[in-house]
Structures are given as structure tokens and as C-alpha cells.
Amino acid sequence: MLSLPLLRHTDVPPRVTENFILSGYRFPNYSLRQCLVSAFHPTNETGNFWTHFLPIFVFAFHFLEVFTWEGAPEPSNPFFYPFWNYFLGVLYLLLASSLAHLLNSMSLIIREICFFVDYGTISAYTVGSSLAYYYYIHPQAGIPEIGFGGLNSTQRKSLNANDEAWPSTSSPTQFQLFFESLYIPSSCLVAIICVITCCNTRQCWRRYRYAVRTLVFLLPFFVSSTPVFYRLSVSSPSSSSPYLFSTMAAFFYRHCFWLVVSALFNISKIPERFSPGNFDIWGHSHQWFHCCTFLSILDELQMIKVEMQALLLNPTLVLSPAMPPRLPGPTLWSTYGVMLLLQGCIACIIAGFGWQAYQIYAPAQKKKCHKHR
């Protein structure tokens, strides 16, 4: 049989149950084929899978639109390195999340590893966002050399190329020093802390696991968003690009709004809290959590695209001599290298927690196999 009967919460280990979800459980021991088929059958994980799998195609559509802009450089141009890293971060997040919900019924060990990988990709996404913010939204972001449109290195452009946004002195401020030296390393460090904390909630703090996982990701949000906060504080709608500034600010506020709504769904467990059993298959809080997180990502993407378009397509915004020097342009090491190093660290962390899960659950599974024999 490709599809096994669904179980109630009293028929599965407490480890697999979700608060206020009473039925629709697939556990135990689905095969890989049965897990894949279950995506097309109503279980309490079906909606969780589709609400992060289908958005992959929506996100890819909006992402690829950038390369159709008139005058945009080739997709392989170094200017797009941070953007590609951001795309990979979002892709890994959505794909890992959807597959974690689809494959977690194969065994308790695989279930743990699936969600360890899920937490790891969320952290990697935050660093991908940080790279995009650093090179496109950072107050000193610019394009030293992009080699298109007839512009030379002395005609560098920036969204914030107005003297009001910066002090007239050339000495760097504390904010500038943080951005240039500590911003990306801080984002990576916080991402690693988040992975370790979220993985720990699989064994510790079980009662408050949803609140801990939600709150712990507030830290990377505040760290990665510091360029946006600074831009909003030093710029104003009366600057040289009032429309672009207001558009960027609107997308960022919407991004924050959807993050707050998604956090409320994840912690409160509404609506199933008020009607246990009636939202087991469709409409429970985790599905709404997925929808809201994707909407926040989509607004974040639009915000980044606004900044990129201003940098690429507005030749009137020329670097002023009174402005501080721009950041060096993105390189393979400063973008792909950072993400690769981070992924290596996260993989080591996941391997450690995976081994710990194996030691906990493998003996019980072996006993169960011997009993069936």
C-alpha cells in the first residue's frame, strides 16, 4: 500500500504530536515512496509541505525579473553575487522546510535530522539577507565598477548619494566601523547561535519550544536589519530620491508586519487552540505561519530589488566627493565564500546533533525490529 491509515494523537509517540492537533498523523515508519505520495493525500503535514514548496516558484519568478531590466549586467556579473547568495538562502529555506514536513515520518531519527536541517537553512537565509543588505542597502553601498551602460569608475552610483545623509567629515563613525568590520561576522555568529539553540529545543525546553525558536530568531533579524534601520534614521523622504526612499521603507515595514504576524501564529497556536481537532488537516497555525513568513520574504525581495534598481538604473545619483568612500565591490570570497564557510559550520553542528539523536532513538528502533522478527 502506498498510503497507510492515518492515526490519532493517542496512537503515536508523544514525541511526534503537535499541540491541539488530534488526528492526521502518518507516523510510524513510512517509506520514502509513501512520504512522497502523502503530499497528495490529506494529512496534517500536507498543507505544511505545499505552503513552502509552491512559494519556491513564486519567489523564483520575482527573483529572475531582475535580469530582464534594461541595461542590467549579465547574471554572472560580480554585482549580482550577493543577490544570488540571497536567492540560495531563500531556496534552501523553502526547500528544506517543505521536505522536512514531507519526510519526517520515516523514523524518529530522520525526523530529528530533517528539522535540524530546517533550522540550519533558516540561519543560512539570515546571512544571505545580510549579504544583500550589506551590498545593496548599506548606507555606503555603491557600484565601483560594473562595466555596463558607459559608466566608468568615477561615475559610481548610490541610492543615498546626498550630502545630508552623512557628516561632512571624512572620519568614520561607530556605525560605519561596525558595518565595515563586524556586520557580516556578527550575522554569521548569530546564525550559528540560533542553529544550536533551535536544535537544543528538540530535547530541552520542550514545553516552550515554539516560543524559544521564534524569539531566538529575533536576534538575527535585528542584526541583519541594522543597515535598513540606519538608512531609515539618516535618510528622509525629502532626500534626493523621495519616491525610492518611501518605497523601500514601505516594503521593509510590510516585511516586519508579516514577521510579527507569523510569530503570533507560531506561538499562539491559533486557530486550533480554540477548536482542537477541527483544523488538523487544513488551516492550522503552522500553515498560516508558513504563508506569513513567505509574504515577509517576498516583501524583503521587493525591497532589495528597489535598492538594486536605484543603483543600476539611476545615473543621476553620482557619488559626491564629500561622501565617505564606498564599500569595495562584492567578490567570490566575500559572498559565496562566506556562505560556504557558514554552511560548513552548520553542517558540523547538525552532524553533532544528528549523532546525539541517533544514540537516543536507535536502540529503541532496534528493539522494535527484533520484536517484530
| CA distance to 23, 249, 289, 334, per residue, from 265 (Å) | 20, 25, 6, 36
Contact 159, 311 (CB under 8 A): yes
Alpha carbon distance 326, 107 (integer Å): 52
Residue with cell string 491509515:
5
Residue 286 assigned to a binding site: yes
Contact 146, 99 (CB under 8 A): no
The grid coordinates of residue 203 equal 530535547
Residues forming a β-bridge with 25: 7
Contact 123, 187 (CB under 8 A): no
Alpha carbon distance 313, 278 (integer Å): 52
Contact 9, 21 (CB under 8 A): yes
Q: Is 25 helix (H, G, I), strand (E, B) or coil?
A: strand
Count CB neighbours of 125 within 10 A: 24
Alpha carbon distance 224, 133 (integer Å): 7
Contact 309, 69 (CB under 8 A): yes
Count CB neighbours of 359 within 10 A: 10
Contact 191, 220 (CB under 8 A): yes
Residue 290 assigned to a binding site: yes
In the chain the first and final C-alpha atoms are separated, in Å, by 21
The sign of the dihedral angle between the CA atoms of 98, 101, 103, 107 is positive
Alpha carbon distance 98, 226 (integer Å): 30
| CA distance to 29, 61, 119, per residue, from 228 (Å) | 46, 25, 24
Phi, psi of 42 (to 5 degrees): -75, 105
Q: Which residues are annotated as a binding site?
A: 101, 286, 290
Q: Which residues are annotated as a binding site for Zn(2+)?
A: 101, 286, 290
